[in-house]
Chain A
């Protein structure tokens, strides 16, 4: 139905190491990811004619600096804002540029370095003033009353969710514990110490009801994805479904649609509506058709909302639905199989997209989901991709 339908593909993917190395340059991480993706795709840098950057300065490098530094000569460039979100949107923009004939091979690059700055909300973080942003910070912050740092919005969203559905907050443990188990099988994951339920329960409270182990470890790293026209390469991964980010008075970035802060309606998506969204329609797929899933998890409650808003279960059911190994390797719906942002690295979701490509190529080794043919990336904000292995 749509011009993106399988006409474009992820031709290569690459990543830097993930670490906290204050003395490094973010361009070193960017270069490692870019060169790894080029090698993976079998391309020379001269074959890149599109460049879309997520994050950019001050945590990353802007598109022009990237092109200048690495000797790229793209004739189609784009850049999204300096936060997370928009991973799917960047890839969608690249696919649209290829489909529309504005570029043939687009490098999508997320590179950032956080180890030399304070946490978000602290005075030595370049985003300090965002908590005083007109009409509220990007995560619901209101610094003047002490509502500071993204975690507070995530905590408020989760408190609201638990009260609305009368669910036990401790059920949330399944998310960080599952993703940590996956990270133990992932060579480049940052968090490779086994986590027990007791470790989780006793981790330091940050903003109740969330704890330290509900937060992704902020660090340094980069991922690069190269988007091109679908061809005959057996390793390429086709983009068959796509959907952009939602916004509006019924949306809050850290809550399901309709249940966030401010004047939201409390009207949730029905499962039927969720299953009729554009990403599914475009790929002629339903949630049951997804073999492996990647979900945005900068904080551990966020995957719950994406599971509900994308129709894997009904509104209010996710905390129970995920129990019993369902989202773990070997379960019905293996999710964030490399550890996600919570345990692999906080890369704004790009780590999950790289992992989905690896899974669809059958190259995930000890993490391989058997016969993975169709994968999905979904974020609580509504942007999503369906990816399929080459036939």
Chain B
């Protein structure tokens, strides 16, 4: 079986990935409530058949929690151990998972971090990552 680590991109998620390619964080918003949400949905999860529009969001957030991989589940990731994944609270109510290249320098949960889109060693598509802390 192929070991591609490419994200699944389709019409529903394409606005996110198009923005990511330009280094922007775009999120779907419920038009009626003005609330952003995740994951993408063709209609708002907050309103029956509610309209959705994509808007840019600030690529910053507060770290909720972190896990650190000590074992690789794909061969492509083995040489990058240890790496982390952070759960980051971004815009109102939206929490996203982001790659953390250096868990030794992990931001403490509760701290504000900048997010970026980065081509990781195994990915052709830029994916969400924690930006190096200043």
Interface residues of A (CB under 8 A from B): 119-124, 128, 132-136, 140, 142-149, 152, 155-156, 159-160, 163, 204-209, 249, 261-264
A sample of 26 cross-chain residue pairs with beta-carbon separation below 8 angstroms, ordered by A number, consists of: A120-B73, A123-B74, A134-B8, A134-B10, A134-B13, A135-B39, A143-B5, A144-B5, A144-B125, A145-B85, A145-B127, A146-B99, A146-B120, A147-B85, A152-B85, A156-B65, A156-B85, A156-B87, A159-B67, A205-B71, A206-B70, A207-B69, A208-B70, A261-B87, A261-B97, A262-B38
Nearest-neighbor residue (CB-CB) of B125 within chain A:
A144
Asked if residues A207 and B12 are in contact (CB atoms below 8 Å), the reply is no
Contacts of A124 in B (CB 8 A): 1
The complex places the Cα of A122 from the Cα of B77 at a distance, in Å, of: 11
Secondary structure of the B side of the interface? loop
Q: Does B94 contact A (CB under 8 A)?
A: yes
Partner of A163, one of B45, B67, B109: B109
* In the complex, residue of chain B having the shortest beta-carbon distance to the beta carbon of A123: B3
Since A144-B125, A149-B73, A208-B67 are in contact, a sample of 18 more A-B pairs with Cβ atoms closer than 8 Å, ordered by chain A residue number, is A121-B74, A124-B1, A128-B1, A128-B3, A134-B8, A134-B12, A134-B13, A142-B7, A145-B120, A145-B129, A146-B74, A148-B77, A160-B65, A160-B87, A204-B70, A207-B67, A262-B39, A263-B95
The answer to whether A208 and B87 have CB atoms under 8 Å apart is: no
Tell me whether B97 and A147 are in contact (CB under 8 A).
Answer: yes
Interface magnitude class on chain B: 35 or more
Are A206 and B71 within 8 A (Cβ)?
yes
Q: Give the nearest-CB partner of B1 in chain A.
A: A123
Residues of A within 8 A of B8 (CB): 132-134
Q: Which of A121, A134, A163 contacts B65 (CB 8 A)?
A: A163
Q: Are A132 and B7 in contact (CB under 8 A)?
A: yes
Chain B residues in contact with chain A, CB under 8 A?
Answer: 1-3, 5-8, 10, 12-13, 37-40, 45, 64-71, 73-75, 77, 80, 83, 85, 87, 93-95, 97-99, 109, 120, 123, 125, 127-129
A205 touches B70 (CB 8 A): yes
Closest chain B CB from A265 CB (angstroms) = 9
**Nearest B residue to A126, CB-CB:** B1
- Give the chain A neighbours of B99 by CB distance below 8 A: 145-146
**Residues of chain B within 8 A of A160, CB atoms compared:** 64-65, 87
Given known pairs A119-B73, A134-B13, A135-B39, the reply for A146 and B85 (CB within 8 Å) is: yes
Chain B residue at smallest Cβ distance from A152: B67
Q: Which residues of B contact A152 (CB under 8 A)?
A: 67, 69, 85
Q: Which 8 A-B pairs have the closest CB atoms?
A: A121-B73, A135-B39, A144-B7, A208-B68, A159-B65, A145-B99, A155-B67, A160-B65
Residue of A whose beta carbon sits closest to that of B128: A145
Check A148/B125 contact, CB under 8 A, given A135-B40, A209-B67. Answer: no
> Please, how many angstroms separate the alpha-carbon atoms of A226 and B70 in the complex?
42
